[in-house]
Amino acid sequence: QVQLVESGGGSVQTGGSLRLSCAASRYTESSARMGWFRQAPGKEREGVAAIDTGGGSTFYADSVKGRFTISQDNAKNTVYLQMNSLKPEDTAMYYCAAGSKYAGTWYWRGNYNYWGQGTQVTVSS
């Protein structure tokens, strides 16, 4: 069992930045994948970014490419999501997730076994 705890959400104005953190109770093996998802009211949960903890490959949704960066600190069992140039459409609850990189596409929520409780990000215009 892996427990994930997100932090770092908050309220910012358009163009601002936030850094989300996801601390894992135990770090996943080299075949693991850590993902960030978000869900706005009335919308489906969508993949934002993911990182393969072993090889370090990263993946991004088109809507956040060039603005968001996912990274990891293995010594701290933590994955980060640096979010720059935030837009009102980035407003959502953001969730950290853990799964296997062999489970399938990075952006499908069904390929992740463990989820955090979420942290709210609100971007005002």
Mean pLDDT of 26-46: 88
Give the pLDDT confidence score for residue 98 in this predicted structure: 94
Q: Is the pLDDT of residue 27 over 70?
A: no
Q: What is residue 55's predicted lDDT score, i.e. its pLDDT?
A: 83
pLDDT value for 54? 87
pLDDT digits (tens, 9 = 90+) for 48-102: 999 998 888 999 999 999 999 999 998 888 999 999 999 999 999 999 999 998 9
Rounded to 5 degrees, what angle do the CA atoms 89, 84, 4 make? 85
**Left if phi > 0, otherwise alpha if psi is -120 to 50, otherwise beta: which for 118?**
left
If you search the block for the tokens 């090889």, which residue do you land on? Answer: 55
Q: Do 121 and 9 contact (CB within 8 A), yes or no?
A: yes
- Is residue 28's pLDDT more than 70? no
pLDDT of 31 higher than 80: no
β-strands 112-115, 92-100: how paired? antiparallel
Share above pLDDT 90 across residues of the chain, in percent, rounded to a whole number: 85
The Cα-based distances of 49 to 73, 91, 124 in angstroms read 16, 15, 22
Give the chain's mean pLDDT.
94
Q: What is the mean pLDDT of residues 16-29?
A: 88
